[in-house]
């Protein structure tokens, strides 16, 4: 899940007084959600960049104490994994209770989110795709509904995984590295509401797409779609952040309007904190796209050959062209991959 940030730019219409706090590390940004479906709860803590330095990477908040708290006084610690990311699987989330995140930094600052109710994400009905040859893209869509008409507000994220090959084969390599897999997650905000419809149905909502000249569908491509049920407040928060980031390109860039999340500083009520923490389950669906189902959609790759080519003499023991991991992927096949 995304969380956002609300900083002022010169062209902003609404006034916003700069908070009287140190911007040495920037404002705290809290990303993530409390997973009520048995999967991991992952919270990422970072700081925005300085106002004077409008571009740069967010600064992680390290060695904080992060706890999930219930309104029944239950407490579940979330351990730091790496670089400001805290994660743990909470086995008991009572759907009849409310929960929040409590954060204590190494400097003694404390932050809490509002207590919020648990929401159940309905299953995804289907994930479909269309090869649009006029636009030269493969467009993906998601379809879902809630027969109880309780969800209304939805968000989706996805993870792409695709197989690719090295440009040559070295038959002498003891650990072949000619087949690799690479993955990346979505970066845009995908949300929709059925509030104006007579039934709680989302039909043919467009997700990401692949350009025709992309390497991704050249062999086998996987798309894992994750669906979340939102509250009206979180939906409005994400909707405003989506409008802002579409103009600027990143949630860590200075935003043109204020975003009101549900996290506050206990130590300093005047300090703005960025993010929205909710409690919900996750519905998932994975599809595979096989290249042979896309006639004419062939990625143009260099000639694939056995090393050494006849005219080049003895083969380098480890030629770069035979190592697909040099392009950032892994030669370990994912557990979910089809044969």
Encode pLDDT of 250-290 as tens digits.
Answer: 544 544 446 789 999 999 988 989 899 999 999 999 999 99
- pLDDT value of position 27: 87
What are the pLDDT digits (tens) for 146-201? 999 999 999 999 999 999 988 887 777 777 788 999 999 998 999 999 999 999 99
**56 — pLDDT class (breaks 50, 70, 90):** low
pLDDT of residue 248: 56
* Calpha distance 162→320 (Å, rounded): 21
Q: Is residue 225 part of a domain?
A: no
> What's 31-55 look like in SS3?
EEEEECCCCEEEEEEEECCCCCCCC
Does residue 253 belong to any structural domain of this protein? yes
Question: Would you place residue 77 in the very low, low, confident or very high pLDDT band (cuts 50, 70, 90)?
Answer: very high
Q: Is the pLDDT reported for residue 69 higher than 60?
A: yes
Tell me how far apart the alpha carbons of residues 108 and 275 are, in angstroms, rounded to a whole number: 20
Does the structure show a pLDDT above 80 at 4?
no
The answer as to whether 338 is a domain residue is: no
Tokens of 161: 């995984």
pLDDT band with cut points at 50, 70 and 90 for residue 313 = low
Model pLDDT, residue 24: 52
Mean pLDDT value across residues 311-318: 60
In angstroms, the CA 151 to CA 57 distance is 35
Q: Residue 55: which pLDDT band, with cuts at 50, 70 and 90?
A: low
pLDDT of residue 118 exceeding 70:
yes
CA dihedral in degrees (13, 19, 20, 23; nearest 10)?
-100
Q: For position 17, what pLDDT does the model report? A: 40
Residue 141 has pLDDT above 50, yes or no: yes
Q: What is the pLDDT of residue 58?
A: 83
How far apart CA 153 and CA 157 sit, in angstroms, is: 14
Is 146 a member of any domain?
no
Contact 84, 60 (CB under 8 A): yes
Percent of the chain with pLDDT over 90: 59
- Identify whether 180 is part of a domain: no
Average pLDDT score over the chain: 84
258: nearest Cα among 234, 237, 231, 235: 237
Number of structural domains (the chain) is 1
Residue 182 contacts by C-beta under 8 Å, 6 or more apart in sequence?
Answer: 161, 162, 164, 327, 328, 329, 330
Q: Which helix (H) or strand (E) holds 111?
A: strand 110-113
Query: Does residue 35 lie in a domain region?
Result: yes
- Rounded to two decimals, the pTM is 0.83
Question: Would you place residue 22 in the very low, low, confident or very high pLDDT band (cuts 50, 70, 90)?
Answer: very low
> Which range of residues forms the domain containing residue 105?
28-119+232-281
Determine the Cα–Cα distance for residues 5 and 258; give it in Å rounded to an integer.
8
Residue with tokens 């008409």: 149
Lowest mean pLDDT among 67-71, 135-139, 221-225, 302-306: 302-306
More confident call, 16 vs 175: 175
- Average pLDDT estimate for 71-98: 95
Q: What share of the chain is helix, strand, coil (3-state, %, to 5)?
A: 10, 40, 50
Answer yes or no: is pLDDT of 79 > 70.
yes
Q: Which of 295, 135, 301, 143 is nearest to 209 (CA)?
A: 135
Measure the CA–CA gap between 176 and 169, rounded to whole angstroms: 8
3-state secondary structure of 62: coil
293-313: average pLDDT: 62
Domain contains 56: yes
Over 90: is that where the pLDDT of 8 sits? no
- Write the Ramachandran bin of 81: left for phi over 0, alpha for psi from -120 to 50, otherwise beta: alpha
Report the candidate in 207, 225, 38 with the shortest Cα–Cα distance to residue 125: 225
Does some domain include residue 261?
yes
For residue 326, give the 3-state DSSP assignment.
helix
Report the b/e string of 177-189 with b at 16+ CB within 10 A: bbebbbeeebeeb
pLDDT, greater one: 50 or 18: 50
């Amino acid at each position: 899940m995304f969380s956002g940030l609300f900083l002022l730019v010169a062209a902003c219409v609404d006034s916003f007084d700069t908070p009287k706090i140190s911007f040495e590390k920037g404002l705290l940004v809290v990303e993530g959600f409390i997973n009520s479906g048995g999967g991991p709860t992952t919270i990422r803590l970072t700081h925005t960049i300085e106002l004077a330095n409008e571009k740069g990477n967010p600064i992680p908040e390290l060695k904080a104490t992060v706890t999930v708290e219930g309104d029944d006084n239950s407490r579940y610690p979330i351990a730091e994994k790496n670089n400001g990311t805290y994660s743990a699987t909470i086995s008991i989330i009572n759907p009849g209770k409310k929960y929040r995140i409590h954060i204590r930094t190494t400097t003694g600052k404390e932050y809490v989110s509002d207590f919020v109710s648990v929401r159940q994400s309905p299953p995804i009905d289907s994930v479909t795709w269309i090869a649009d040859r006029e636009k030269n893209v493969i467009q993906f869509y998601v379809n879902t509904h809630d027969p109880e008409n309780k969800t209304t507000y939805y968000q989706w994220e996805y993870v792409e995984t695709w197989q690719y090959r090295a440009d040559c084969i070295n038959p002498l390599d003891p650990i072949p590295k000619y087949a690799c897999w690479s993955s990346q997650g979505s970066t845009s905000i995908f949300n929709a509401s059925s509030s104006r419809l007579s039934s709680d149905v989302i039909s043919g909502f467009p997700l990401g797409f692949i350009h025709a000249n992309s390497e991704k569908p050249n062999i086998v491509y996987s798309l894992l779609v994750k669906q979340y049920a939102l509250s009206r407040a979180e939906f409005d928060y994400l909707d405003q952040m989506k409008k802002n980031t579409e103009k600027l390109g990143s949630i860590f860039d200075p935003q043109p309007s204020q975003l009101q999340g549900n996290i506050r500083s206990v130590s300093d009520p005047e300090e703005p904190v960025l993010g929205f923490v909710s409690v919900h389950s996750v519905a998932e669906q994975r599809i595979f796209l096989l290249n042979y189902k896309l006639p004419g959609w062939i990625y143009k790759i260099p000639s694939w050959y056995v090393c050494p080519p006849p005219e080049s003499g003895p083969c380098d023991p480890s030629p770069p062209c035979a190592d697909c991991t040099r392009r950032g992927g892994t030669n370990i096949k994912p557990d979910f991959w089809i044969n």
